[in-house]
Every structure is written in structure tokens, then in C-alpha cells.
Amino acid sequence: MRPPPSTLATERASLLAWFDAVARDLPWRRSRDPYAIWVSEVMLQQTRVDTVLRYFDRFLSRFPDPCALASASEDEVLSMWSGLGYYRRARLLHAGSKHLVAHHGGEVPQDPEARRAMPGVGRYTAGAIGSIAFDRPEAIVDGNVARVLSRLRGIDTPLGRADTEARLWAEADALVPGPRPGALNQALMELGATVCAHPTPRCADCPVAGGCVALRTGRTAELPVPKPRRAPRPVDVVAVVARQGRGVWMVRGQDALFGGLWGVPLDEGKGRAAAERALISAGLRGTLERRAQARLEHVLTHRRMDVRVFVAADAHPMGEGARWVDPDAPGDIGLSALTRKILAAAGPSGTASPPR
């Protein structure tokens, strides 16, 4: 049962006072620019704050507003995102900026429905922009907020389930109306990130511990109930570092994992035949080494990739589409973390530790 309005008001006041006292000084919190807040929220999806800190200012310096981002090429955008991961976010951010230029004069709209019509902007991102930039009473629920509300209200159904999500949003909607909705939302996120953490919360430091159902019933370790996850599927992959001089021929990935990024030819399989297939499928020819030069592991959300790295010498393209890249100075192209690992494993002269 939801607390009465007086209790909600007390919780809001406690959260805001706590946030004012202990909030981390993060660059996106120094701005009310809706574009900067949008960029930060997209970067922070499934990514640690410490990692985003290395990218945020640099990205905004290169693309200071939606018009600058919209006018950039996809390669430029992905280059600035390179290493941050989950590259679909960058492509949607790029598409969203073009949408703003085409439909809103290059400005992020105040209307929540117009914000949610932007590519890649869902209920959470729209609410973060609306509350923080425009001071609108729009709720948010991300992983940190879900953890706080699950413990605070004793929500014991699994995350990700429809009824759980509906309950979490209803609880967030009940808390957000009132003064400083943006700060209130940030307080919930900050609390989940720093105090109401997984797996062991620091309840003595929590500003709303007095009303926490999980603390009162001894269930802080049990809540929230995690969403069932499947283990990553093991996949054998070959990668071919196709050398010409000091550079490497790369192709643009087309699948959901690396679409839009440049990388070395990849294919599923283990041996030289799979490597030859990868090279030819990429429109390249070269003298392929008989055995893999190195072997590495790369884990994604749904795949555990066992990668054998082959090297092809004197490589050249058979048609259009490949791009010669100096690995030491790749320029304005996006390279995935996997591509960087493959190039490092192959070594500057094509030598590396042998496969296991």
C-alpha cells in the first residue's frame, strides 16, 4: 500500500536534503541544458559513471549542440564514442539530433510526447530531460531507482516483469510531484548508486531508512528480485588482421553487434577455412597464415566469444567497401573494444602468443 501524502512529502524532503549534502560533483549536474542532459543520460545507460566521465566533456566539445551533432558524419560520431560500447546508443543519439533539426529547430522540446518521439528516447530518458532540464514533474525508473523503490516499498516480484515495472513507475510517479522534481529524481539515482547498492546497502547512511520495508523485514539482501538472465552463449569466432604495409584493411560491420563500426573481418568458426571465408566475404585477398596467431575471449551481454586471430599479409581489396586504417592513427572512425583487442593480440609485426 502506498504511503499517505504526508509520508511522501517527508520522504521527498529527506531525499532532497540528503542529495544537497552529499551529491557527487558530476559535469552533467552543472548544466540545465537539455541537450547536455540527454547526452549524459544516453552515455550512462549500462555504463559506469567513471567511464562516462572520460567521454562526456570531450563529446560535447566536439558536438556542442544538436545541430553540430546532426551535421557530423556517422564515422565522426562513432569515433568520439569509440570505447564507450553499446554503439547503437551513439547511432540513435545521432538520429535523434537529426530529428530535432528537422522537426524542432535543433532544440530539445519541452513537451514530453514530443521528446518521446525522438529516436532512442523512451520513458526514462524523456523523464530525466523533462525533470532536470525543464523542472517538470516527470518520473524516472532506471536500475538504481528500481533498487531503491523495491527495497523502500517491499516490491518482491521480479524486475522486468510487467506488473513489477508498472508498480515501480507508479511509485516513482507518486514521489516526483513537488518542489525540484529534477533534484528528487537525481537523489533517487544517487541513493541507488552510492548507498542502496547491490548487494549490500549501507542502511545507516540512508535518508529514508525509517520507512524502508526491506530493512524493517530483514530483506535488504533479497530485494530487488532480479530478472532471470540466461548465461552468454559460447560462440567460436575467427578474426583476420589483413595487413598492407603498416596499416590494416577494415570493413564496416553490418550485424546488430557491430553495425556501423569499422573492424577486421569476422566470421563464426575456428580454423583457417573460416578465416579464409571471412577474408573473402569482406572483399579482401591476402596471404593468410596457416595457423591462428593468437586467441582471446570477449564477453558481450548474450555471447561469450572465443576469438582466434589470423593474420593475412600483402592484403588488398577486390572491390569497394574496405578501408585502409593505420591502427596507430585511425582518424575519425569508430573502433570497437573487440577490434582493439584483436589488433593488440596480432601485434605490430603479426606475432603474438600462440593459441592455447
pLDDT tens sequence across 275-334? 999 999 999 999 999 999 999 999 987 889 999 999 999 999 998 889 999 988 887 777
pLDDT, average across residues 174-182: 97
CA distance 81 to 86: 9
* pLDDT averaged over every residue in the chain: 92
**What cell does 4 get?**
499517505
pLDDT tens sequence across 110-164? 999 999 999 999 999 999 999 999 999 999 999 999 999 999 999 999 999 999 9
Lowest mean pLDDT among 68-82, 276-290, 328-342: 328-342
DSSP 140-174: ---HHHHHHHHHHHT--SPTTSHHHHHHHHHHHHH
For the chain, what percent of residues have pLDDT higher than 90?
81
| Residue pair 186/23 in contact by the 8 Å Cβ criterion | yes
pTM: 0.81
Q: Indicate whether 350 pLDDT > 60.
A: no
Q: What pairing do the DSSP bridges indicate for beta strands 303-317 and 233-244?
A: parallel
Q: Which CATH class is domain 5-216?
A: mainly alpha
Confidence of residue 230 (pLDDT cuts 50, 70, 90): confident
pLDDT of residue 259: 59
Q: Indicate whether 353 pLDDT > 90.
A: no
Q: Indicate whether 176 pLDDT > 50.
A: yes
Question: Residue 113 catalytic?
Answer: no
Q: Indicate whether 191 pLDDT > 60.
A: yes
Q: Which of 41, 76, 171, 276 is catalytic?
A: 41
User: Which residue pairs, CB below 8 angstroms and at least 24 apart, start in 160-164?
Assistant: 160/227, 161/227, 164/225
pLDDT of residue 354: 35
| Residue pair 115/34 in contact by the 8 Å Cβ criterion | no
Strand partners, 236: 306
Cβ-based neighbour number of residue 261 at 10 Å = 25
Residue 28, C-beta contacts closer than 8 angstroms, at least 6 positions apart: 36, 37, 39, 40, 56
Q: Indicate whether 61 pLDDT > 50.
A: yes
Q: Where are the domains of the chain?
A: 5-216, 233-346
For the chain, what percent of residues have pLDDT higher than 70?
96
pLDDT of residue 27: 97
Domain 233-346 annotated CATH 3.90.79.10:
yes
pLDDT of residue 355: 39
**What cell does 31 get?**
548544466
